[in-house]
Structure 1
Amino acid sequence: MGKRTVTMSQDYRRRQFVKMVGVAGAGSALVGTAGAATGISTRTLDEQFDLDGGVQEALVVFDDSENARRLETLDLPETYHVFEHLDVAWTNLTADQLETVAGWDSVRRVKAAEELEWHNDDISRESMAVDTVHEAGYKGEDAHVVIIDSGLNASHPGIGADRVEANYRYVDEPTGPRDPFWVDTNPGDTDTIGHGQHCAGIAAGDGEGGTQGSYEGVAPEATITSYAVVQYIYLPYVVAAWNHLLGRIRTEPEFDPDVVTNSYGVARGARYNPNDPVNVATWKVFQEGALPVFSYGNDGDIGEGGGNRFAKAPHVLGVGAAEKTIDEKNNNNNRSIVGFSSRGRSDVDDVFYDRDALLENLREFFAIQEGTTQTIRTDTFTGSVGPGANTDPVLAAPAFETDTGSSYENFTAAGNADLVDLTLSLDPEGQWVRMRVYEDRNGEWVEVAQMREEVLKQHGTLTVDVEASTDYVVELEPEDTVTADYTIEYTSYAKPDGDLNDARPVTMYRPGVSAHGNAVLSTQDKADVLGPLGEAGDAEPFYGRLSGTSMSCPAAAGVAMLVQQAYRAESGGEELSTADVMRVIEHAAADHNPNYTTINTGAGFVDAEVAVDTAEALAAGDTTIDELETGLDALVEPPAEVTPAEEIDLNASGSRDDDASVFTAGQTNRVEVTLDGFNGNLADAVRVTDQVPDGWTVDENFGDVESFDEDSGVVTFEGTAPASGETFAYFAEAPDEGAGDTGTYTFGPATAVAVDPETFEDDPDRKQGSTEENFGGTDTNTVAGADTEA
C-alpha cells in the first residue's frame, strides 16, 4: 500500500483487493518517510513520499491550473495531465523534483498517489424511519445520486438501466501518451467487485428481483450516475472522477446531482488539509450544490482518531455504522454503534465538533487563500409599500417623511462587512418602486445608493459598499399609486485579510451521523468478488449482505435526497443549500442509545421521517434554519439507560424415578415424579403433568392420578404442588400387542404450570416470564414385546 511507482495489472489489483477488503474492511493507517528531514512543511509536501526513493506518482494542487505548465520546465520521466476543474496535475516526479515543486509559490499541496480502502430489507428501512417517508410519497423521484465506487451493473433488476443516467468507466492512463477520458457504458456492467453495486442498491435500489422480501433502497426512484474507479481504488482515479463530475455540473445545466456518495478512504490521525486533492474537489462540488457524503471508516478497533481523512471536512457528511436493532425496552441494544465503526477524538475542544463554526472558518480560509469575498450574514425583509402602508424608519426617525407611502427597513453592517447585496422582488411584479439606501454619518443620513424597479423587471439587486458596524436605512418609495408586497433578500460580504492560520480550526473530529451499516441486504451479483461474502445465499440470487460504513454512507445519502425532494415539493421547486441539508439531517438525528457519544455517532442515528418533516416545515415557512438545533446544539444527547424489567420465570426443578429399565409386554412400571421446587415469586402453586410414551397406559385408580389422556399420553396429577415441592406417583403398563411393541420408550419430561401467576402490574421493575416449565428430565426404557424370547 502507499505510493505507486509502477503500473499494476488489473489481476494484481483484484487479488490485493480481496485480501484487503474482507467484509467490513478494517483499514490500516498509511505511513511514510517525508517530513522532519525536509524544511518544507508537510502541509504542502505529503509525508507519504520517500524522499530517498526513485520516481513516484504525485498529485500537485496549484492555485490555478494555468500554473501547471511550469511542470514543463522539469525533465519529467513521463508527461503530466491537468484536471482543469480542480487545478490539480497528475504526474511522475523524482525525489528532487518533489521538493522543487513543493517549493513553488503557486503550489498548495503535493500529494502521493496512494491506494485507498473500501469501507466495506425491511427492518433496515424501519430503523431509519424510511418506510414512513415512502408512505408519504417521497421516494427520490426528482433526486439524483452520484456514486464514486467500484462501478455498477446497470442491468441488475434492482437498479434498472432506465434510472441509470450514466455508468462511467475510466479509459487510458493520464501520464501516458494519450489523454484519459470517461466512457459511458450504460446499460453495461462496470463492477466486477460488487462493492459499488451494493452501495447503489442501498441509496437508490428499487427492490426488484428479491424473492424473500422487500429490498428497496432509501430513495428507490432516484436516478444514478456511477463512476467506476477500478477494483483496487486508486487516488488519481478518484480525483479524475471528481474532476469529470465537476466539469459536467458546470457545463451541463440539466445535470444537477443532489449528493455524491463515497464509501472509501483511509484512516489517519492527521488534521484535515483543505488543499489535499480530494478535499479541493469536495469543496468545489459542495459549492456547486451537491452534498459530498463519505463513510467514516472501519477502524473502530484502533480506538479514537481512526476517522476517514476525507470525512473530517466540515462540508462533508461523514457517516458511522450502527445496528438496525429496534429495542426501546433495553436501549443498550437500540441501534447500537458497531464495533468496527471508526471513532473521532475526545481529546479536543468543542469547536472541533461545531460544524457551523468550522464551516465558517473554512470559508474564511479559502477566501483568504483565493482573495475572494465570503458571505458573513443573510436576512430577509418583507412588508408592503404604497398608500396606507407607511412604516417608521426607526433608526432615522424623524429624518424621513412618513406620509409618502414609503416603507423602511433598517440594518447595521457587520463588524467585518465590505459589501451588501439587496435583492428586491415585488408582488405583483412590474411595479414602479424606487429603493434608496442611506448611511448614518455622525447623525446625518446620507443617500449612498439607489435603484428603481423598472416595468416588467421581476428582480433587481442593489450592491452597496458599506462601512463596518454602521447603521443603514433602506427606503422603498412607490411611484404614482403603486401598492405591492415586497421581499428584500439581504446578503453581507467581507473580503478577509489575514493569515491562513487565523482561519482555523477547520477539522471536524466526529462523524456527522450514524446509519444502519451491519449485515445490510442490498443488490449484489454472485459472480462478483464480494458475491460469496453475502449472507443471503442462493435463496436471493440478486441480493446479499455486507457490513461496513461503506453501507451506512449510501443510506445517509439516500436520506439527503429525500430531504431535498420534500423541500422542493413544498417550496415549489426551490432547494436547500448543501450546508442546510446537513443541518436538517443532524437536527433530525435520533438519540436512541445511552452508549452514543459525539465521537461515535456525532448528532445521532439518522431519522428520515423527522428530517423530511423538518424540510417541509422550512419550505412552508413554519420554521427557520436558525430555529433548528445545529452546530454544537445538534450533538447527540444520550438518553438515560433503560433497563428492561426483570422477567420472573417459573424455574421449576425436580427429578424422576421408576422401577426398572427393561420390561416385558404388559408389565407395570411404577413412576415417581418429584418437584423439588419453583419460583414462589411467580406463583404459590403449580399443576404437574408427566409425559407417557405412546402405547403405554395408566390406571387412573391408583397413585396420584387425576386423569390420563391416552391420545396425547399426558398424565395429570391430583391437586397442586407448593413451592416447597412434592412427589407424585402413577402406574404405567407396557404395551402387549405383539412382537411389534419391542423397542425403547421415553418417559418425561414432567411439566409444571403456574396456578394464577403474578402479573406484576404494579411493579415496573419486574414482569411475568415463563409460566410453564419442564423439569425432571427423561427416562428411556426397553420393552420386549409378546411372542419374543425375552
Structure 2
Amino acid sequence: MVTAVTVRSERDDGRCVHLPDERSTRVGPTRWMSAYPVRAAILDVGFGTEGMARDSGSGTTDERLEQRHVDGRGDRDDGSSGLSRRSVMKAAGAAGMASLVPFGSAGTAAATDTSVVDDAFDLSGGLQEALVVFDSAENAERLDTLSLAKGYRVFDHLAIAWTFLDPDQVKTVADWGSVRRVKRSEELEWYNDETSRTSMAVDDVRNGEELGYVGEDAHVVVIDSGIDASHPGLEGRVEANYRFVDEGVGSRDPLWVDAAPGDTDQLGHGTHCAGIVGGDGSGSVEGEYSGMAPAVTLTGYSTTRSVYLPYVVAAWNHMLGRAKADPDFSPDVVSNSYGVARDMPYNPNDPVNVASWRAFEEGILPVFAMGNDGSGTGTSSRFAKAPHVLGAAAAEKSINPRENTENRPIAGFSSRGRELPRDAPEYNRETTLENLRKFWAIQNGTTYAIPANDPRRTGMFGPGVNSSPGIGAIDEEAGAAYEILQTNGNADVVSLTLSITPDGQWVRTTVYDEDGKRVAMMGEEPPHQHRTLTFDVDGGEKYYVELEPELSASGEYTITWEQEAKPEGDLASVDPVTLFRPSLSTHGTAVMSTIDKYDALGPLGPAYGGSGTEPFYTRLSGTSMACPGAAGIGALAIEAYRANHPEGDSPDPADVIRVMESTARDFNPNYNAYNTGAGFVDAEAAVNSAEELAAGETTVADLQTGQDALVDPAEETTITALSASGSRSDDGSVFTAGQTDQMTLTVSDLSHDATEVWGVVPSAWDVRTEYGDVGRVEETDGAKRVYFGSVTAPEVTDGDTTFEYFAEAPSGTENTGTYTFGPAHARTDAGVDKPVDEFAGIDTNYVVGEDTNV
C-alpha cells in the first residue's frame, strides 16, 4: 500500500509536491509484454547514452555494483537501494515473464496526474537511482549545487537528468520550480506469418494491383532487446543497430555504438518484433513468414535483455538527437513492446511519456503494447494510455467469416482499459489529445493546436478564374481565388501554408477580416513551396484569403491552415488527458517471426504450436507481438500517404492513428471499447484511407474519430426468463440401506441473481441437515427440496459456486429399488416472466440391500 502526504512547497510555479511517506513500498518492476511460458535469465550487459555527463561528490563512476535481487530492488554494497542495471531474472514456471508483477485493479476515472515525486521512492532508504524531468536541459545544471554521490547525465533532447539521490535530495529537487517530475528508475517488462497477414488484410496491401505497398519508403525504429541484423529475413535493411555501452552516470562519456550488421540481441524478443514489423521471410522452410512491411528500413536500440528505464529513455533521446542532426535519418514509427501497469491516470511528465510526446511533436508515431495482464479491467500499460500513441491490444488468430465470438477474439492475456460509459471523455482520443496539447501549452507557456474545419483547400488561380470573396467589403480582383476560414471560438493564432504548382509563380496572398480590413499578407516576391503566414485572430470570426496572381500567372494552389489557442486555467484543471482504452487490436497469439534459436527465447516456439523445425523462425504470443504488427501497418499507411500527396508530404502521427482507428473492423460481438478500442486492424482499408486523405479526396472530418471510432456496443437483449446452468455429482450410484451419499451441486452460470437454489432428493432418503450447506428442507410432491443460500450472477461469472449436502439411503427390504435425484432449481426475484429454471439434470441411484454399516 502506498501512502502519501502533501507537502506545501515553495516552488515558484505554485505546484504542490506529493511525497510518499516513510512507509511507502515499491509497486514493482515493469515489463516486456510477451506472454512467455518461462522466464529467461538476464545476462549482464550494461550500457549508457550520449549526452552531457557531470561528476559530483565522491562516487566512483567505474563502480559496477552487483545486485542482491529482492522484490525488484537490490541492496547495494554502498548502502543504496533501488534497481540495478545488472538485475537478474531467474528461471520460473509457466506464468512467464508477463506475470512478474500483477497490473493494478480497475478503478474510476481520476483527474490528471500532476504529482512531482514518484510514489515508488523509499524516503527512509538510502541512495536511489532517479530520472529528473526538468523544464529545460539548461536547468538540469542546478544539480551541480548538490553533493551527488555519482554525478549525473543529461538527456539533452528530453531535458531529463539521470542520477542517484538520497531521500533528502529527492525532496530538495522536487521542490525546485524547474522540476516537473522525479521518477525512480525501474525495470520495465517485455510484455507472424501468412495467417496473420491475411487476417489483417496486409497481403491485399502488398499484392493488390492498385496498392502494392511494402514499406519501401518508410522507416521504423524498434526499441527492444536488440536485433540480429545478420538474420536472413532482416539482413541488409537494418540501417543502424545501436547498443548501449559504458556506465550512464559519471565522468566517462558513454555512447550508443552501432553494431550493424551484427547481432545485439541475446534474448530474441527484439529480433522477433523486428521481423513482425518488416521481415521479408528469407530463410523460412515451411511457409512465407514475412512481416507487415517487408521492405521497410529498420533501426534498432538494444536495452539489453532486461529493459531498464534509463536505457529506454536514453534510446529515445539518441533517436531524437540523431533525427535533428542527420538529414538521412527520418524515422516514421517507433515500436515499443514494453511497459508497466498501474491503474492510475497517465502522467505527462513521466520520462517515457515526455519522450514519446517529443517524438510525436517531431512527426514520429509512437506505438506501444497494451500489456499482458489479462481480462480484468484497468490493467493497461501506463505508456499505452497516452492519447498521442497507438496502443495495440492482442487478438487471437481464430478467423471465422461470420461475426461471432470465434472471429478474432481478444486474447485472454491482453490488458484492458477501464470499463466506462461509452460516451466517457476518457474514451475520446480527440478530447484527450486536445487536453494534452493544452496541458503542455500551460506548462510551457505557449499556445496549443486545435482542430481546424476543412484544414486543406485546393483550387486554381489566374486568367479565367471566376471566384468571389462573397462579401462586398473586399474588392474582387480578376483571376484571384478566395477561401473562407471559419475560426474556432477559442482560436488565437492561425498559421496558413501556401503551396503553388508550378513552383515559382508570383501570387500575392492577403488575409482580410469580415470588415474588409487587411490583417496579414505575403507575396512581395515570388513565393517558394510551403511559405507560411502566421497571424492573430479573434476566435469565432471568419477570415478571407485572397490569392491574387501577378503578371498574369496561373496555376494550382493548396492551402493548409492550423489554429492555435492560448490555454486557460492550471495544469490540474486539464482533465482528462488519459485514454483508458486500446487504439485497436492486431494478432498477438502464436505469431511466427524471426528468431535466433540460440537466443533465450529461441526454444519456445513449440509451446505456442510451432513445429520446431524452422531454423530461423519461431512462434511467440503477447501484446509484444501485436505492437510491431500495428507499427508495420502504420508504416504502410505512411508510405501510401506520401505516395499520393502532391508534394510527397508525410502525415501527422495523429492522422495515422485516426486513419487506422477509423478503418478498424468490428468482427466480434464481445468486442468493446476497453478491450479493443476501435476494433481489429484492417490494413487494406487503412492504406486506402491514407491515399484518399493525402490526395484531398477526403478530410479528417470525414473519418470516424472520437467516440465514433469505437466499436459498436453489443446489442442489448431483454431476457424474459431466468437461465441457470450447472451440474450435480455424488459418491456413486449403488447404495445399501443406511449408506450416506455426499452430493455436490455446482452453479456455473446465471442470467440473473438467484434468491434461492435447491436440489431435489427422493422423499424416502433422509437429508442430514447438520452437515454441508443445507438451509432448510421442505417435502413436496413426493420429494424433498433441499434449499441453499442465494447466488449472484457476478459470483458465478468469477467462478463456480458449489453447495454440499448429504442424504442417507432408506432401510428395509421394501425400500430397495431405483431413486431419481434432481433436477436442481434456481429462483429469481428480478421480475422476469419465468422466474424459475431447472438445471443439472436428473441422476438415478439404486438401493440394493440391507444396512451394511457396523
TM-aligned CA deviation for residue 159 of structure 1:
1.6
Asked whether the 8 Å contact 1:386–1:405 carries over to 2, the reply is: yes
Which letter maps to 1:316?
A: V
Query: Alignment partner of 1:437: what SS?
Result: strand
Which letter maps to 1:510?
A: R
Q: 1:159 aligns with which of 228, 234, 252?
A: 234
TM-aligned CA deviation for residue 266 of structure 1:
1.1
Asked whether the 8 Å contact 1:193–1:231 carries over to 2, the reply is: yes
Shift in CA distance, 451/57, structure 1 to aligned 2, threshold 3 Å: same
Aligned equivalents of 1:288, 1:587: Cα separation in 2: 23
Q: Does 1:214 align with 2:288?
A: yes
Q: After TM superposition, list the pairs within 5 Å mapping 1:292-691 onto structure 2.
A: 292-300=366-374, 303-329=376-402, 331-347=404-420, 350-378=424-452, 379-394=455-470, 396-397=471-472, 399-402=473-476, 404-440=478-514, 444-452=515-523, 454-455=525-526, 457-535=528-606, 536-571=610-645, 573-637=648-712
Aligned equivalents of 2:90, 2:485: Cα separation in 1: 59
Asked whether the 8 Å contact 2:393–2:414 carries over to 1, the reply is: yes
TM-aligned CA deviation for residue 254 of structure 1:
1.2
Q: Does 1:67 align with 2:142?
A: no
Shift in CA distance, 523/406, structure 1 to aligned 2, threshold 3 Å: closer
Asked whether the 8 Å contact 1:120–1:550 carries over to 2, the reply is: no
Moved more, 522-531 or 328-337: 328-337
Query: Alignment partner of 2:299: what SS?
Result: strand
TM-aligned CA deviation for residue 425 of structure 1:
3.4
Asked whether the 8 Å contact 1:4–1:56 carries over to 2, the reply is: no
TM-aligned CA deviation for residue 600 of structure 1:
0.6
TM-aligned CA deviation for residue 377 of structure 1:
4.0
Shift in CA distance, 418/251, structure 1 to aligned 2, threshold 3 Å: same
Partner of 1:182: 256
Q: Does 1:26 align with 2:102?
A: no
Which letter maps to 2:604?
A: L
Aligned equivalents of 1:134, 1:408: Cα separation in 2: 41
Asked whether the 8 Å contact 2:97–2:189 carries over to 1, the reply is: no
Q: Could you list the runs of 5+ residues in structure 1 that have no partner in the other structure? A: 32-40, 643-790
Shift in CA distance, 641/217, structure 1 to aligned 2, threshold 3 Å: farther
TM-aligned CA deviation for residue 435 of structure 1:
2.7
Aligned equivalents of 1:144, 1:272: Cα separation in 2: 28
Q: 1:259 aligns with which of 317, 322, 333?
A: 333
Asked whether the 8 Å contact 1:332–1:641 carries over to 2, the reply is: no
Which letter maps to 1:566?
A: A
Aligned equivalents of 1:637, 1:324: Cα separation in 2: 21
Asked whether the 8 Å contact 2:114–2:571 carries over to 1, the reply is: no
Shift in CA distance, 330/560, structure 1 to aligned 2, threshold 3 Å: closer
TM-aligned CA deviation for residue 451 of structure 1:
2.5
Query: Alignment partner of 2:405: what SS?
Result: helix
Q: 1:148 aligns with which of 217, 223, 235?
A: 223
Which letter maps to 1:192?
A: Q
Which letter maps to 2:156?
A: E
1:678-734 deviations in whole A, cap 9, x for unaligned? xxxxxxxxxxxxxxxxxxxxxxxxxxxxxxxxxxxxxxxxxxxxxxxxxxxxxxxxx
Which letter maps to 1:389?
A: V
Query: Alignment partner of 1:604: what SS?
Result: coil
Partner of 1:669: none
Moved more, 281-290 or 621-630: 621-630
Aligned equivalents of 2:124, 2:83: Cα separation in 1: 28
- Alignment root-mean-square deviation, CA: 2.6
Q: Does 1:106 align with 2:159?
A: no
Query: Alignment partner of 1:623: what SS?
Result: coil
Aligned equivalents of 1:345, 1:541: Cα separation in 2: 41
TM-aligned CA deviation for residue 23 of structure 1:
5.1
Aligned equivalents of 2:192, 2:688: Cα separation in 1: 31
Aligned equivalents of 1:30, 1:549: Cα separation in 2: 14
Q: Does 1:230 align with 2:230?
A: no
Aligned equivalents of 1:368, 1:388: Cα separation in 2: 48
Aligned equivalents of 1:638, 1:416: Cα separation in 2: 33
Shift in CA distance, 392/29, structure 1 to aligned 2, threshold 3 Å: same
1:75-131 deviations in whole A, cap 9, x for unaligned? 111111110001000100001111111111000000010111111922121111111
Asked whether the 8 Å contact 1:295–1:319 carries over to 2, the reply is: yes
Moved more, 536-545 or 214-223: 536-545
Partner of 1:275: 349
Q: Could you list the runs of 5+ residues in structure 2 that have no partner in the other structure? A: 1-27, 30-71, 105-112, 718-854
Shift in CA distance, 427/12, structure 1 to aligned 2, threshold 3 Å: closer
Aligned equivalents of 2:357, 2:94: Cα separation in 1: 28
Which letter maps to 1:68?
A: A
Aligned equivalents of 1:229, 1:448: Cα separation in 2: 52
Shift in CA distance, 460/120, structure 1 to aligned 2, threshold 3 Å: closer
Q: Higher helix fraction: Structure 1 or Structure 2?
A: 1
Asked whether the 8 Å contact 1:27–1:299 carries over to 2, the reply is: no
Shift in CA distance, 197/448, structure 1 to aligned 2, threshold 3 Å: closer
Shift in CA distance, 476/141, structure 1 to aligned 2, threshold 3 Å: closer
Aligned equivalents of 2:600, 2:83: Cα separation in 1: 13
Asked whether the 8 Å contact 1:193–1:528 carries over to 2, the reply is: yes
Aligned equivalents of 1:12, 1:438: Cα separation in 2: 60
Count of aligned pairs: 626
Aligned equivalents of 1:10, 1:509: Cα separation in 2: 29
Shift in CA distance, 46/328, structure 1 to aligned 2, threshold 3 Å: same
Asked whether the 8 Å contact 1:24–1:298 carries over to 2, the reply is: no
Asked whether the 8 Å contact 2:390–2:583 carries over to 1, the reply is: yes
TM-aligned CA deviation for residue 512 of structure 1:
0.6
Query: Alignment partner of 2:204: what SS?
Result: helix
Aligned equivalents of 1:335, 1:5: Cα separation in 2: 42
Query: Alignment partner of 1:90: what SS?
Result: strand
Partner of 2:119: 47
Aligned equivalents of 1:110, 1:30: Cα separation in 2: 22
Partner of 1:761: none
Q: Does 1:85 align with 2:157?
A: yes
Shift in CA distance, 363/12, structure 1 to aligned 2, threshold 3 Å: closer
Which letter maps to 1:605?
A: F
Shift in CA distance, 220/312, structure 1 to aligned 2, threshold 3 Å: same
Shift in CA distance, 22/13, structure 1 to aligned 2, threshold 3 Å: farther
Asked whether the 8 Å contact 1:433–1:479 carries over to 2, the reply is: yes
Partner of 1:733: none
Pair member with larger Rg: 1
Shift in CA distance, 155/432, structure 1 to aligned 2, threshold 3 Å: closer
Asked whether the 8 Å contact 1:296–1:319 carries over to 2, the reply is: yes
Aligned equivalents of 1:460, 1:188: Cα separation in 2: 44
Which letter maps to 1:503?
A: V
TM-aligned CA deviation for residue 295 of structure 1:
0.6
Partner of 2:44: none
Aligned equivalents of 1:549, 1:636: Cα separation in 2: 20
Query: Alignment partner of 1:148: what SS?
Result: strand
TM-aligned CA deviation for residue 387 of structure 1:
4.4
Paired-residue identity, %: 56
